Chain A
Amino acid sequence: SQQGEEDPQALSIQEGENATMNCSYKTSINNLQWYRQNSGRGLVHLILIRSNEREKHSGRLRVTLDTSKKSSSLLITASRAADTASYFCATDAGGSYIPTFGRGTSLIVHP
């Protein structure tokens, strides 16, 4: 089934540094979304990028999409301790329009 896979599985950085995580998928998509999940909480939507878009920004977040490589990246600039969370990409493929999640990247930002 269509599923995005995040890389790396875990990332540990210092406050103020940038964090980059990647998502790869296997088949053509309608759109790709990034979500954040704090420990013990539900998922929170960050950004949705459509298949005909290449880049989107939201505050300190920058998402790129390369459909030729079937990959996306999420960049968090000037990270803060509060950014510590798991980050998931979700893709929906073809006519299903059902978001399918990867295993996520666990980000730890040290103060």
Chain B
Amino acid sequence: EAGVAQSPRYKIIEKRQSVAFWCNPISGHATLYWYQQILGQGPKLLIQFQNNGVVDDSQLPKDRFSAERLKGVDSTLKIQPAKLEDSAVYLCASSFQVSGELFFGEGSRLTVL
């Protein structure tokens, strides 16, 4: 079974530039999550999708972050404009059912200079 795919693995940009991350969850997983993990901390939820609908985006900085999940499969997370404090690893995870085991991708490491 193929795992959760994320790209790019690494991205370096300057502040005020934009960046986009892509995630392909495990086939058949209706629930998709984006987490932000700052060095030395645990993952912090940014947004949760159930199929192509948003379940929770209360911690997503909506003035600069946006996310979508077209057709209930792939998802993209965009940051525009980026700030220095956005430097982190962005983790995508999917699960077959709500409140079940999460399957994580390898993450996309963002460095904002």
Contacts and interface: CB of A to CB of B under 8 A. Distances in A.
B106 A42 contact: yes
A81 B56 CA distance: 38
Interface in A42-58: 42-45, 48
B56 A96 contact: yes
A8 to B, nearest CB: 15
Interface string B91-105: 101000011111111
A42 B105 contact: yes
Contacts of B106: 41-42
Interface residues of A, number: 22
A73 B43 CA distance: 20
Nearest to A45: B101
Interface size class of B (residues with CB under 8 A): 20 to 34
A6 to B, nearest CB: 8
A100 B93 CA distance: 13
B42 A102 contact: yes
A11 to B, nearest CB: 15
B104 A44 contact: yes
B99 A45 contact: no
Contact of A30 (B99, B101, B104, B105): B99
B42 A103 contact: yes
A45 B103 contact: yes
Given A96-B56, A98-B56, A45 B102 contact: yes
Contacts of A30: 99
A96 B57 CA distance: 12
A107 B46 CA distance: 27
Interface in B37-86: 40-45, 48, 55-56
Interface of B: 4, 33, 35, 40-45, 48, 55-56, 91, 93, 98-107
Interface of A: 30-31, 33, 35, 41-45, 48, 88, 90, 92, 96-104
8 contacts: A42-B91, A48-B100, A92-B99, A96-B56, A97-B99, A101-B42, A101-B43, A103-B42
